[in-house]
Structure 1
């Protein structure tokens, strides 16, 4: 039997038929059949920037940790403070290998009842195995595969959701809570991965179609695919695991030092602390940067970055920015070439295209942090 014949076919989302009925083009992604676009990536990107886009991100892993000391146990594996999170508060963090390499980036929330994690779909099974191996036996890890996850993103998201779910508008960026929608329990967080204001809504899978339908019945909302989600997160300067982040990359090289809680930089007690402390003290040999390219030809993942005739880095994410009207990219370069404004070149096909190191995010974030 060939290797191709033994591959596991992609799983289907709870909303698979709903996506197809709304004209989605489905592609395999992270082990699932996922909608990549409906009416077109650029149109969907622009709609989300101006109105509200509905994304199905149910491929993500929704996990909870419970048991006495769950927060402290998790702190051995991530560099952020978990035990200080108040109920309803969220924190972005990194799941670290023993050597400090990034195994995944994730969202951590204190629900008041347990510690909730949302991990990336492409590596959720590896994350679950890693957590079960490294957490104490008295900590219970639960994978909530009975839940779907929808993201409503864009400047009109709050108006739309508050009409359906009274009280949701009271949330601010990186807070979450339980809500009731016509008898359906929802866990809503004010967060997302587009750089826009918006929400992620965990809903029992059997009610996901009813909720999605209710949302898109509002003329301010359209279903949006993975293609626009990727272009939006690139404009927002947000790294994608498996591309901009890998197990070979540490948090300092990834320019994610904000995820290293100040107190824990000093006290340590988490995977890779020695390596990460050394990188904080001495600097990294390479670092993640943003690039703005001349012309209209985009640089894709794997494109080589040059300073003169010397290759100094590699593009890890790239594409044409619909909002800005020119190509942008993220990548890693040797530390000496990472200063904002540095002139570089990127090899695209047979051409060397002029580029310069740019501040990220490329498009300003519009998170709602309160009045």
Structure 2
């Protein structure tokens, strides 16, 4: 679990974990609550394994209202964001979404985030554990003519799984403007505004499970009604943090504070797709000289996927061994409910990062045989 960051700005909160807008709703559903990123959040309802497999087979409803929702607007907003992110924000068309990285001056990863062009503004979703730091960083570096707005009166729901489109579609969402795409016409990484019973929703076809699905930004005052409507569908069940973590691990998706940190860069983190072609050519993002050199010459370490033999899972911080030599460190690990075997992500020496290469992981005085495998561990099923 991540510690809640302490700040001096006016939006900083005290150390007591905050409840989500749906706190009572989760408890009524039998959730076991834990502290995560400064909030009390549901870790599970009926069990992580069952919730994980339900999401893969049907549709899972996740409360991710701890995430930071930000709006960046004003003249030169795209250019200002490109001074902080390595993505081609200027080429992002209205209604399109892009994964990107907030980088420090050395190219270290301060956060990973989603950017959506909403036409008159850019909508950012940042990690809950880092959002106050992100807000401070953005306010410090964005020019005066660009406005940053924290949507702190909004919640965020993620509906994930092969039946997500069926479940959300049956609620009868209406496009906010004539001629806009219908819900089922949205493809992966596309977004649009809708109304549900007169309530405004911001919907994107995205998520962090590897499954088809949606993320839905909704006013906190409306989130209970929407959660009730979705959970009332027979194909939908509420899902906790535990299954969200195992799902994203199977999907090979990194988690900030574990697989990503300021010590990692986009190249060593195997996130070079976030370095847009134009930005590679032009640079101009934080740490560009170092990052582009790593891209050309190769990084000393790189994030890889590992499949383990046996049933014991590797955990964060475990040493990765090649013979008697330590060659890396596990950053995420667990038992895969879909594959019925332990899997992990680790940073290892790049020279050893060859598919099928045998390694060992040291856990509790034991050496667990492992081999390098491609990620994702479970194929993505995005609707493209």
Whether the 8 Å contact between 1:295 and 1:327 is mirrored in structure 2 is: yes
Aligned to 1:3: none
SS of the counterpart of 1:59?
A: coil
For 1:82-231, what aligned pairs fall within 5 Å after superposition? 82-166=89-173, 167-231=182-246
Q: Deviations over 1:80-111 (max 9, x none)?
A: 10011111000000000011000000000000
Q: Distance in 2 between matches of 1:331 and 1:93?
A: 21
Q: Deviations over 1:47-106 (max 9, x none)?
A: 000000000000000000010010110001110100111110000000000110000000
1:59 aligns with 2:66: yes
SS of the counterpart of 2:50?
A: helix
Aligned to 1:341: 356
For 1:1-371, what aligned pairs fall within 5 Å after superposition? 8-166=15-173, 167-369=182-384
Whether the 8 Å contact between 1:288 and 1:331 is mirrored in structure 2 is: yes
Q: Distance in 2 between matches of 1:45 and 1:351?
A: 28
Whether the 8 Å contact between 1:152 and 1:198 is mirrored in structure 2 is: yes
Q: Distance in 1 between matches of 2:231 and 2:338?
A: 23
Q: Deviations over 1:347-366 (max 9, x none)?
A: 01110010000100000000
Q: Deviations over 1:297-339 (max 9, x none)?
A: 0000001000000000000000000000000000100111111
Q: Distance in 1 between matches of 2:219 and 2:157?
A: 11
Q: Distance in 1 between matches of 2:113 and 2:364?
A: 34
Aligned length: 364
Q: Distance in 2 between matches of 1:265 and 1:336?
A: 24
Q: Distance in 1 between matches of 2:371 and 2:96?
A: 37
* Structure 1 stretches lacking a partner, 5+ long: 1-5
Task: State the Cα distance separating 1:269 from its structure 2 match.
Answer: 0.7
Q: Deviations over 1:232-266 (max 9, x none)?
A: 00000000000000001110000000000011101
Shift in alpha-carbon separation, 1:206–1:7, aligned structure 2, 3 A: closer
Q: Distance in 1 between matches of 2:129 and 2:102?
A: 14
Whether the 8 Å contact between 1:252 and 1:284 is mirrored in structure 2 is: yes
TM-score by length of 1: 0.97
SS of the counterpart of 1:81?
A: coil
* Structure 2 stretches lacking a partner, 5+ long: 1-12, 174-181
TM-score by length of 2: 0.94
Q: Deviations over 1:198-240 (max 9, x none)?
A: 0000000001000000001101000000000000000000000
SS of the counterpart of 2:290?
A: helix
Whether the 8 Å contact between 1:174 and 1:189 is mirrored in structure 2 is: yes
Which ranges of 4 or more aligned residues in structure 1 deviate by more than 4 Å?
none
Whether the 8 Å contact between 1:23 and 1:38 is mirrored in structure 2 is: yes
SS of the counterpart of 1:142?
A: strand
Task: State the Cα distance separating 1:165 from its structure 2 match.
Answer: 3.4
Q: Distance in 2 between matches of 1:154 and 1:116?
A: 24
Task: State the Cα distance separating 1:7 from its structure 2 match.
Answer: 6.5
Q: Distance in 2 between matches of 1:140 and 1:244?
A: 31
